[in-house]
């Protein structure tokens, strides 16, 4: 097992045990214990086995400490009853039937300026007469009266831990605001961090660009709008135009990862930039810096979702390693990325997106070659198709139990779906970036956006056709977390045994 993988495993165990510990140990216990273990390892450094055991135990305690420190620093006491708040809207508005959802950064409570803003997930009831809710936009200030509540599990029968998901994304509370209990307000931002203000500012500029240019281009055709809804979701992370029927359709077909910004989308953008700068980019520090700067600018622009930050971190490490003339993304680099992400935010361990993306990449890195070597196509097209199938199977082996555990579903035609939608997604993302650049620099590219919308609509129709096939998905699967753990332990043992036999040969 790769060294970084061992460290990652013990760090994860430490974080999980830290969250389950019934007794809260003194805050100084973990740093002191880690210091003692590191000192001990130094004095017995001539005994490799003992040093390894002590080091891994120190990593385990580091995981416990990371969770405990994060939990204590993030705890706040919410005021009781209704309170008067001043807030900044910090996310795009998501429209539902009777409410609109958005994130708020509360800067003042009952005329008292907070030392640090509180991130809240808000639901605002629509006013159907004046439609004042339509004036709410990211960056706006609001004054509102509402009750702040700790996140609660909304479905007792679900395996999805909603409160933990909220904590992992930095939410401290949730609130419901009646239609007549809010009003626009100029709000001071002195207690909001500079990075958060930059993120909000970039998203505001993006919203203005969409309204000024893109909406003038796409027209009002029904089919084109449904296609542009997919393009907005894939390239900007804006799912406000994606209705529930479309979202469910992609989920049943096993293509929901296409609509959600993830490592797939950032990987495509990274590939585009790498192709633009040529084959010698790996040894050019300036070029790598430009590519990584563009990647992180994109991360800021789309709102810094965890999945994109995770992918950007991995691509940054990949680029740095590329400067040393190493060409492959190794399991060590992947595990190191996981270590960095978990040390920054240990609660990411409870983020479903984090779990699925890491298991998917881990499976591809460890299983893909074993699957690909089963069959050797003779033509280039055959090798490309078989490689795509092997990647899909490897990713599915790594994520299927977790999807079944959280969502009770298994998509039966995932191989066919990925063979079609991933190439189309690549065309859409490439085309959208080029069309947007041309729109900014020269003139609106109506024909390009219309063509991309048609491609996206074709993708949507293909997904709907897959859903109409018999046994498109197996629903209502009920498995326990013990069965999920048993599956992954068995998988790890099988991969270890197979790779060990190959190494001996």
Q: For 469-497, what is each residue's pLDDT tens digit?
A: 998 889 888 888 889 999 999 998 888 88
CB 55 within 8 A of CB 41: yes
Best CA proximity match to 150, nearest among 118, 179, 105 = 118
pLDDT beyond 60 at 77: yes
User: Is the pLDDT confidence value at 217 over 80?
Assistant: no
Predicted pLDDT of residue 216:
56
pLDDT of residue 14: 94
Q: What is the pLDDT of residue 213?
A: 64
The fold for domain 82-191 equals OB fold (Dihydrolipoamide Acetyltransferase, E2P) (2.40.50)
Determine the average pLDDT of the residues in 320-327: 62
Mean pLDDT score of the chain: 84
Contact present, 108 and 94 (Cβ < 8 Å):
no
pLDDT of residue 224: 43
DSSP code at position 262? -
pLDDT over 60 (residue 390): yes
Residue 183 has pLDDT above 60, yes or no: yes
pLDDT at 206: 75
pLDDT at position 220, please?
Answer: 42
Q: How far is CA 144 from CA 118, 128, 389, 495, in A?
A: 14, 18, 52, 55
In the predicted structure, residue 154 carries a pLDDT above the cut 80? no
Write the pLDDT tens digit of every residue in 289-308: 888 888 887 787 777 776 78
Look at residue 275 in the predicted model and tell me its pLDDT.
72
With a cut of 50, say whether residue 161 has pLDDT above it. yes
| pLDDT tens by residue, 345-387 | 898 888 888 888 888 888 888 888 888 888 888 888 888 888 8
What's the pTM value of the predicted model, to 2 decimals? 0.81
Distances (CA, A) of 170 to 73, 76, 108, 305, 428: 12, 12, 18, 11, 32
Alpha-helical (H) ranges within 83-191 are 162-168
Pick the range with the lowest mean pLDDT from 84-88, 437-441, 454-458, 487-491. 437-441
């Amino acid at each position: 097992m790769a060294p970084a993988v061992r460290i990652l495993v013990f760090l994860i165990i430490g974080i999980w045990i830290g969250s389950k510990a019934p007794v809260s140990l003194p805050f100084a216990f973990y740093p002191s214990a880690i210091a003692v273990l590191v000192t001990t390892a130094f004095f017995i450094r001539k005994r490799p086995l003992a040093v390894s055991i002590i080091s891994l135990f120190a990593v385990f305690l580091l995981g416990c400490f990371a969770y405990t420190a994060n939990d204590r620093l993030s705890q706040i006491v919410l005021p009781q009853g209704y309170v008067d708040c001043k807030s900044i809207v910090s996310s795009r508005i998501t429209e539902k039937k009777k409410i609109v959802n958005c994130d708020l950064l509360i800067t003042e409570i009952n005329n008292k300026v907070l030392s640090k803003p509180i991130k809240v997930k808000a639901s605002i009831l629509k006013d159907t007469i004046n439609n004042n809710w339509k004036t709410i936009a990211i960056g706006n200030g609001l004054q509102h009266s509402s009750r702040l509540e700790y996140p609660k599990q909304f479905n007792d029968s679900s395996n999805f831990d909603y409160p933990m998901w909220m904590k992992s994304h930095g939410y401290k509370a949730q609130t419901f605001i009646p239609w007549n209990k809010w009003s626009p307000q100029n709000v001071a931002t002195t207690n909001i961090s500079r990075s958060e203000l930059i993120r909000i500012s970039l998203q505001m500029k993006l919203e203005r660009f969409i309204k000024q240019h893109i909406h003038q281009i796409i027209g009002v055709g029904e089919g084109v709008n449904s296609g542009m809804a997919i393009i907005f979701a894939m390239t900007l992370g804006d799912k406000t135009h994606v209705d529930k029927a479309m979202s469910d359709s992609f989920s049943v077909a096993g293509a929901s990862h296409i609509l959600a910004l993830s490592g797939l989308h950032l990987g495509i953008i990274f590939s585009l930039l790498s192709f633009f700068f040529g084959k010698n980019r790996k040894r050019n520090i300036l070029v790598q810096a430009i590519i990584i700067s563009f990647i992180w600018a994109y991360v800021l622009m789309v709102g810094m979702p965890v999945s994109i930050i995770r992918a950007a971190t991995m691509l940054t490490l990949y680029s740095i390693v590329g400067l040393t003339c190493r060409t492959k993304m190794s399991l060590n680099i992947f595990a190191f990325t996981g270590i960095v992400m978990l040390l920054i935010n240990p609660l990411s361990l409870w983020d479903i997106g984090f779990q699925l993306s890491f298991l998917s990449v881990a499976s591809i890195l460890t299983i893909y070659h074993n699957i690909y070597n089963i069959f050797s196509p003779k033509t280039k097209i055959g090798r490309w198709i078989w490689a795509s199938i092997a990647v899909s199977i490897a990713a599915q082996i790594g994520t299927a139990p977790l999807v079944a555990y959280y969502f009770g579903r298994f998509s039966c035609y995932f191989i066919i779906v990925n063979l079609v939608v991933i190439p189309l997604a690549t065309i859409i993302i490439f085309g959208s970036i080029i069309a947007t650049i041309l729109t900014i620099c020269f003139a609106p590219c109506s024909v390009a956006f219309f063509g991309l919308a048609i491609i996206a609509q074709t993708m949507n129709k293909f997904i709907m056709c897959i859903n109409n096939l018999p046994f498109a998905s197996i629903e209502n699967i009920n498995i326990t977390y013990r069965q999920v753990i048993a599956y992954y332990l068995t998988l790890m043992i099988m991969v270890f045994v197979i790779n060990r036999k190959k190494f001996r040969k």
